[in-house]
Amino acid sequence: MAEVGLTATSSAIPHSSPKIWLLTNDAVGLRNQAIGLAEHIGWPFELKLVNLTKPWRWLPGHWLPRAHTKLTPESSPLQAPWPDMIISCGRLGAAAALGVKRATGGQVFTVHIQNPQMPHHLVDLIAPPRHDGLSGPNVINTRGALHHVTPEKIARAIAEQTSQHPDLPRIKQNQRVIGVLIGGSNATAILTPDKSRQLIALLITAASAQNAHLWITASRRTGNENIAAMRDAISGSSHWFWDNTGENPYHAILGMADYLIVTGDSVSMVSEAASTGKPVYTLDFDGYSGRLNDFHRSLREEGVTRPFQGELAVWAYEPVNDTPQIATLIRERFHHHQGHV
């Protein structure tokens, strides 16, 4: 992963390769989508975290001719030398990207992940999930969220976790492993300590009935109170719960689990789980927005995911991973753009 202000490079990348800026805020889900796409494109990139000052952050991004100059002091500075390409994610990232594009006279090639919330023609290529409902000649819909999960990262994570927890291979040899990815509250779904305890109790009961072992990881959005409730609920059992302390076993869980259970609040986590081709169950703790319901309905109709009801089964589906294809298309569109500016 590229750190803020640092360039991600490789000895295999020629110095003449195009330079990419990633513009987004500090939300992990947005950052991971932009980073994953840039890694698949394979050119040097810099992650720049941006936010707009008041009142500019409340206005539509295309209303601001110089949005990239209206950044908060904590934001990464956006100034020449300009990049060849910008990948933005999130409404404020799109606004800042448009400001840079205008400053360069349209020379920089802009890509936006999700809905840019501005007229589509102002962005060179838009890659939103299909449940956003966008269409147009420069719109390429994806089945789920773009992400940064790769077999190489999973293999490294498994090696790291195995070295830290030598008993993991023995557990996996003797029992099936249920990987559990827990998100947290969003605009329409609220996770509380009571709901957290109920989720853990349901998971422990299901694991016992299946003679399976739980490997659970919480996210930054889970919240300290909910993490504490989950930690208390699982104490005294042999299951493994990661509570945001130490190295996150997220990628290792994706690789080592036989089944994956994901709270349905996060399109990114469900998409990452579904990229493995393993059985993926969604676990609901509250209601969701219309767009999120559309996302879940499509994957269930396609046989990718199933709602978790306490039983475990094995099924096959086409893994959800549009990131490599979108990266290839972006390289093609970028070279076409360079030939016309």
DSSP 280-312: EEEE-SS---HHHHHHHHHHHHTTSEEE--S--
Residue 82 backbone phi and psi in degrees, to 5: -80, 155
Tell me the per-residue pLDDT of 267-282, one tens digit each, with 9 for 90 and over.
Answer: 999 999 999 999 999 9
Residue 5 has pLDDT above 80, yes or no: no
- Pull the structure tokens for residue 319: 């893994």
Q: What pLDDT was estimated at residue 11?
A: 33
Residue 1 has pLDDT above 60, yes or no: no
- Beta bridge partners, 129, equal 142
Task: Work out the pLDDT band at 314, boundaries 50, 70, 90.
Answer: very high
If you average pLDDT over residues 28-51, what whole number do you get?
96
Residue 226 has pLDDT above 70, yes or no: yes
Residue 169 has pLDDT above 70, yes or no: yes
Beta strands at 125-127 and 85-89: parallel, antiparallel or unpaired: unpaired
Q: Which of 46-55, 239-248, 301-310 is least confident?
A: 239-248
Signed CA dihedral, 83, 60, 65, 67: sign only: negative
At 50 the three-state DSSP class reads coil
Give the position of tokens 């990131």.
323
Please indicate whether the domains covering 7-146+322-338 and 151-307 agree at the CATH topology level.
yes
Do residues 117 and 130 lie in contact, with contact meaning Cβ atoms separated by under 8 Å?
Answer: no
Residue 119 has pLDDT above 80, yes or no: yes
Task: For residue 252, give the nearest of 280, 283, 216 by alpha carbon.
Answer: 216
Task: Work out the pLDDT band at 2, boundaries 50, 70, 90.
Answer: very low
CATH superfamily of 151-307: Glycogen Phosphorylase B; (3.40.50.2000)
Task: Work out the pLDDT band at 29, boundaries 50, 70, 90.
Answer: confident
48 vs 7: CA distance, rounded Å = 10
If you average pLDDT over residues 79-93, what whole number do you get?
96
DSSP 275: T
If you average pLDDT over residues 154-166, what whole number do you get?
91
Task: Work out the pLDDT band at 174, boundaries 50, 70, 90.
Answer: confident
User: Any idea which fold 7-146+322-338 has?
Assistant: Rossmann fold (3.40.50)
At 49 the three-state DSSP class reads strand
Buried b (16+ CB within 10 A) or exposed e, 48-66: bbbbbeeebbeeebbebee
Q: What pLDDT was estimated at residue 69?
A: 94
* DSSP symbols for 115-184: --SS-GGGSSEEE-BGGG---STTB--BSS------HHHHHHHHHHHHHH-TTHHHHHHHSEEEEEEE--
For all residues of the chain together, what is the average pLDDT? 91
If you average pLDDT over residues 51-73, what whole number do you get?
93
Domain boundaries, the chain: 7-146+322-338, 151-307
Task: Work out the pLDDT band at 341, boundaries 50, 70, 90.
Answer: low
Largest CA distance in the chain: 65
Q: What pLDDT was estimated at residue 9?
A: 37
